[in-house]
Amino acid sequence: MAVASRLDTGRAFARVLLPTLAKGVIVRRPAVTALGEKVRADAAAVATMRRFRARYGPEPLRLRVTGRSTALLLDPVDVARLLADSPSPFALATREKTAAPAHFQPHGVLISTGEERARRRAVNDDVLRPDRIDVRGIVADEADLLLRHVRSTGGLAWDAFAQAWWRAARRIVLGSSAREDVELTDMLKALRGNANWAYLHPRRNALRERFEQRLQAHLVRREPGSLASLRPPDELLGQAPHWLFAFDAAGIVTMRALAMGGEGEAGIWESARLWPTTPVILRESTELTRWHGTWLPAGTTFVVFVPYFHRDPDRLPYADSYAPDNWPAPNDPGLVPFSGGPGICPGRDLVLVAGSTMLDALRDHLDVPTLRAPLPVTLNHFGLSYFTRK
């Protein structure tokens, strides 16, 4: 098995892993995201990964990290195996993850194990289906109101988009009575901000309690037409924070899809391929596992750096172009914007329906200066704005 030199281990951290963490895996930090676009941090990270693959071959690359077995995946077939064989022997609940989301969703499925995980996952799979409530209707409604704003101001920038998007998200998850509860999502944002500094920040228990109480008050209403109506509140209290937080990524993907002239669900898929909002997928092995003839110990952390698999021109002729024909069933097992296997994002269909409804409603009314290939590896969504079509 290939073991990275000390210098290359340093490069893996300096150019691939740390810049990704600095952007904020949980909440995007505007200043760092904008800086990343200027210095083309993601392009440098993808280039570094391609050099690793050329130098060390397709096997998982072991990094020289003291006291810890860490392997960077370099082959799409290995990505498929890692995701297919989750949560056992490849657990989703890695040390890093249990430190991060614990700030805002201590009972989320992502950080659960064993039977508890199976039960919570089943709740997610049952509830997060776009056909159970009128997701399209809710989003179309909010898109209409947003278009009125767009017409009166002559354009659309991130802030106005985000406000409309969050209104739709609160309605979908909790119902129309939560539509204006900006404070709820702001509290979640503050808790998620802490999660960016997972290891360092003491948990803000008071804020978390206030957030949970407020969320609970919405859930107990079980408002018809919302996801909250579909199961008893005590089953959802641990899951709904992740749902609300994950709508952030769905909004970002939608706004970026607009920037490249994307259409429909394939536009949302492609936006998530080109600019993956979950740039790092982690697994931790619960037993000894064999890779290309070499055994890796239990407790090994496996790192999938998604932008490399989505943007590798050595493998993908369309790496830096809009290629909607990839979807819904891509030929390449390395295309995993929503992950894969049993840990695949249970919210993906909801995202595709909500995102494409918003995208298609806005597109025809905006004069979008469509980005052309080669599409940039980093696209700062905070900086996107469009004028009304004349």
List residues binding ligand HEM (CB under 6 A): 92, 109-110, 121, 124, 128, 242-243, 246-247, 249-250, 253, 272, 277-278, 281, 337-339, 343, 345-347, 350-351
Q: Which residue is nearest to ligand HEM (CB)?
A: 347
Peptide bond into 87 cis (omega under 30): yes
Give least dist CB 144 to ligand HEM, A. 21
Nearer to ligand HEM, 17 or 281 (CB): 281
Give least dist CB 3 to ligand HEM, A. 25
Q: CB-based contacts of 121: which residues, under 8 Å, 6+ apart? A: 109, 342, 346
Give least dist CB 110 to ligand HEM, A. 4
Residue 277's nearest CA partner among 372, 357, 368, 345 is 345
Give least dist CB 18 to ligand HEM, A. 20
Give least dist CB 76 to ligand HEM, A. 15
Q: CB-based contacts of 92: which residues, under 8 Å, 6+ apart? A: 86, 110, 111, 117, 282, 283, 343
Residue whose structure tokens are 């607009």: 258
Residue 43's nearest CA partner among 13, 16, 11, 25 is 16
Nearer to ligand HEM, 62 or 121 (CB): 121
Q: Are 49 and 306 in contact (CB under 8 A)?
A: no
Four-CA torsion 32, 300, 70, 311, nearest 10 degrees = -60
Nearer to ligand HEM, 115 or 314 (CB): 115
Distance in angstroms (rounded) separating the CA atoms of residues 19 and 86: 27
Nearer to ligand HEM, 56 or 166 (CB): 166
Nearer to ligand HEM, 62 or 256 (CB): 256
Nearer to ligand HEM, 187 or 250 (CB): 250
Give least dist CB 244 to ligand HEM, A. 8
Widest distance between CA atoms in the chain: 64
Nearer to ligand HEM, 278 or 385 (CB): 278
Q: Are 285 and 299 in contact (CB under 8 A)?
A: yes
Give least dist CB 154 to ligand HEM, A. 28
Give least dist CB 177 to ligand HEM, A. 19
What is the total residue count of the chain?
390
Four-CA torsion 375, 380, 382, 384, nearest 10 degrees = -20
Q: CB-based contacts of 74: which residues, under 8 Å, 6+ apart? A: 49, 52, 53, 56, 57, 58, 59, 60, 61
Nearer to ligand HEM, 64 or 95 (CB): 95
Q: CB-based contacts of 152: which residues, under 8 Å, 6+ apart? A: none
